[in-house]
Chains A and B, each alone.
Chain A
């Protein structure tokens, strides 16, 4: 039983990332009807927002401390970050420690800008083109974005630590009354999961309970009629693209303590997220979220030693296997609507 719970927990953080990316992909597909292969790149840009903020906050000037010497006998050099000077010792160091949560605030305007530029500058021109063209042009864009990041940040992963308070693991099993030390779970993964749930809930609430969201949903159902009612639906859809970019970006920001950001992390997640979207059903938001968590947890189960001893290599292929089975038995995915991508 405890092993069972442990695998579910292990699947949650990856599942959260899949769900967040797939949610954004589905939002874009549902509103604009565009298959966005550059969505993984948005996830990556989000992660690199955290890296950038980390570099900005740790920008330091060097002073010499005559009271201490290094091993050569020269006065020791002390690096003082500028933020420590500006905000004082305690606040400055806390800011550097809490760089990942701070990066959420830092990344939102950047992701909005990136999303708006992408939609207005490129994707707008591809509404009337075939899906294959959309896939190809966004695929090209993904390559370009990833290469730009690689040029400026290098090809190696850049570690970005979580705040001190969330480093380490806690004994989740003992809380539930199991044997102590059977279910150890890293704090940050729990934070990530909670964050993902809140973000997903916020997006759904926004679509469900605000007038803006209602108009967007109406537009998803019947764009033309909403347009005839005198509503500028295109503008709202553009904003939804920006929202999807923000969701992907935040997913990337918060993921940095789990995987050190590298330039190809977006593509790695994108391929799986597409599988998630298709399994959930093209155009279905709850489907994307459910499939994201489902596949994340399944992947975690498949990497149990028991599963690997029964079917070797199952942990590598489980997601694709599930995708194939679901697509062949339920052609529209788990919760796909009729008439989406079937014309």
Chain B
């Protein structure tokens, strides 16, 4: 598997595969990584089909996730989680304030769109730069401490940004109402008629424009914004693979496994961790910029600590320290959030109509707390279950199932390749 980057023995495998990098793969990736990248690429591009497996109007259509708004959120939060994983998965520093960078990036992007041009590219670049600078400042201070102290410091910075954006910085941030593109905005480079509200675009291609394809009972939506965000996500994902496999990535893993030993060998780990922190912050800024590009609005709640907590959940649920895990986690959580919260008791009654009446009511009452508004409860329980039973997240779960199937087929490779053998994991936090 490509994703066994959690433990020291796997690092050794990673090192060997770097040597073999020229063989098999393309774009400077090993064969395995390239295959993973291709799979992700194909899935992202075919997402409008894959996420819409049920025909319109059927009872199962509510499980369809192939509408533009949700698909955009999949890839944008995927980027956010990939960035968070570069910091947490590689160095083990648990940041509890990552949403601040996303928020700061969003504000940078929306100002670019309000003042300069409605083209999304300058806005996104601005978001990355602003978030990067902010991350540099926060990281420079926070990285002087490690472990829980680092978590609290990042949390403190994020909460400060939130409080300031909410109150004092209202002239810049719009306070509680946030910022939107209004019909009074006159960006320098875009010519807009009086009273018209500008729309975010990429050289004239509007983000919200979609192409709809009807195939029989199925309706597929191909949204411009989604595909732009998806291309950016693929680029971000590619860069994260390269970073994971680079000597720099090895350095970051060394920080996670034993920072003290690294320091004793004469290496100063600070520049490496700071660089990882800034890169991670820039990923968050990129996600924030894309969010603005899609819905052209920002509010301070984007920086609240629960938003930071959410990205932690995504990374852990998917599998921290693995390549694909954070993307999986982000998609999983966003899917659940949208789909589970849409189910209501009427739908439950429809599902269980075949049960005897008393039993039907009982089953519905049993499930009811976990759906609709209660989806956070489901999320909390799933999250706890993952932390308790599957510290490697969904990716580890997938590996275990794959290994189990392999064993069942009887391709016994001897004790060395026993997929059930998991060496003791390195602690997540460098302390």
Whether A147 sits at the interface, judged by CB under 8 Å, is: yes
Whether A313 sits at the interface, judged by CB under 8 Å, is: yes
> Which of B149, B151, B316 is most buried by chain A, counting CB atoms within 10 A of its CB?
B149
Contact of A320 among B160, B376, B429 (CB under 8 A): B160
* Those of B349-381 within 8 Å (CB) of chain A: 369, 373-374, 376-377, 379-381
Main secondary structure on chain A at its contact with chain B? helix
In Å, the complex CA distance between A278 and B169 comes to 28
Interface residues of A (CB under 8 A from B): 35, 122, 125, 129-133, 135-137, 139-144, 147-148, 150-151, 267, 271, 274-275, 278, 282, 312-313, 316-317, 320-321, 323-324, 327-328, 331, 341-343
Collect the chain A residues with CB atoms within 8 Å of residue B306's CB: 267
Q: How many A-B residue pairs have CB under 8 A?
A: 120
In Å, the complex CA distance between A151 and B380 comes to 14
* Contact of B160 with A341 in the complex, beta carbons under 8 Å: no
* Contact of A147 with B380 in the complex, beta carbons under 8 Å: yes
* Contact of A275 with B152 in the complex, beta carbons under 8 Å: yes
Whether B94 sits at the interface, judged by CB under 8 Å, is: yes
- How far does the Cβ of A33 sit from chain B's closest Cβ, in whole Å? 12
Q: Can you name the residue of chain A whose Cβ is closest to the Cβ of B138?
A: A324
* Contact of A131 with B429 in the complex, beta carbons under 8 Å: yes
- How far does the Cβ of A312 sit from chain B's closest Cβ, in whole Å? 4
* Contact of A341 with B431 in the complex, beta carbons under 8 Å: yes
- How far does the Cβ of A22 sit from chain B's closest Cβ, in whole Å? 13
Whether B347 sits at the interface, judged by CB under 8 Å, is: no
Shortest 9 CB-CB contacts between residues of A and residues of B: A313-B168, A143-B380, A316-B163, A130-B427, A132-B428, A147-B377, A140-B384, A320-B156, A144-B380
Whether B239 sits at the interface, judged by CB under 8 Å, is: no
In Å, the complex CA distance between A143 and B206 comes to 39
Interface residues of B (CB under 8 A from A): 92, 94, 141, 144-145, 147-149, 151-153, 155-157, 159-160, 163-164, 166-169, 305-306, 309, 312, 316, 369, 373-374, 376-377, 379-381, 383-384, 387-388, 391, 427-429, 431
* Contact of B152 with A141 in the complex, beta carbons under 8 Å: no
Contact of B374 among A132, A135, A140, A147 (CB under 8 A): A147
- How far does the Cβ of A292 sit from chain B's closest Cβ, in whole Å? 15
* Contact of B166 with A331 in the complex, beta carbons under 8 Å: no
* Contact of A141 with B149 in the complex, beta carbons under 8 Å: no
Collect the chain A residues with CB atoms within 8 Å of residue B379's CB: 143
> Which of A122, A151, A343 is most buried by chain B, counting CB atoms within 10 A of its CB?
A151
- How far does the Cβ of A136 sit from chain B's closest Cβ, in whole Å? 5
* Contact of B384 with A317 in the complex, beta carbons under 8 Å: no
Collect the chain B residues with CB atoms within 8 Å of residue A331's CB: 144-145, 149
* Contact of A323 with B156 in the complex, beta carbons under 8 Å: yes
Collect the chain B residues with CB atoms within 8 Å of residue A343's CB: 431
In Å, the complex CA distance between A92 and B180 comes to 56
In Å, the complex CA distance between A151 and B369 comes to 7
In Å, the complex CA distance between A305 and B306 comes to 30
* Contact of B152 with A274 in the complex, beta carbons under 8 Å: yes
* Contact of A275 with B427 in the complex, beta carbons under 8 Å: no
* Contact of B377 with A139 in the complex, beta carbons under 8 Å: no
In Å, the complex CA distance between A282 and B144 comes to 17
Q: Can you name the residue of chain B whose Cβ is closest to the Cβ of A331?
A: B145
Collect the chain A residues with CB atoms within 8 Å of residue B164's CB: 313, 316-317
Collect the chain A residues with CB atoms within 8 Å of residue B376's CB: 143, 147
Collect the chain B residues with CB atoms within 8 Å of residue A317's CB: 159-160, 163-164
Collect the chain B residues with CB atoms within 8 Å of residue A141's CB: 380, 384
Cross-chain pairs A/B with CB under 8 angstroms, 20 sampled = A35-B148, A129-B391, A131-B147, A131-B148, A131-B427, A132-B94, A132-B427, A133-B428, A143-B376, A143-B379, A144-B377, A148-B369, A150-B373, A267-B306, A278-B149, A282-B148, A312-B168, A317-B164, A324-B156, A328-B144
* Contact of B377 with A321 in the complex, beta carbons under 8 Å: no
- How far does the Cβ of B336 sit from chain A's closest Cβ, in whole Å? 13
* Contact of A327 with B152 in the complex, beta carbons under 8 Å: yes
* Contact of A313 with B141 in the complex, beta carbons under 8 Å: no
* Contact of B383 with A140 in the complex, beta carbons under 8 Å: yes
* Contact of A133 with B391 in the complex, beta carbons under 8 Å: yes
Collect the chain B residues with CB atoms within 8 Å of residue A131's CB: 147-148, 427, 429, 431
Collect the chain A residues with CB atoms within 8 Å of residue B166's CB: 316
In Å, the complex CA distance between A237 and B305 comes to 31
In Å, the complex CA distance between A137 and B309 comes to 12
Collect the chain A residues with CB atoms within 8 Å of residue B94's CB: 132, 135
Contact of B149 among A135, A139, A341 (CB under 8 A): A341
Collect the chain A residues with CB atoms within 8 Å of residue B159's CB: 271, 317, 320
Contact of A313 among B144, B153, B167, B388 (CB under 8 A): B167
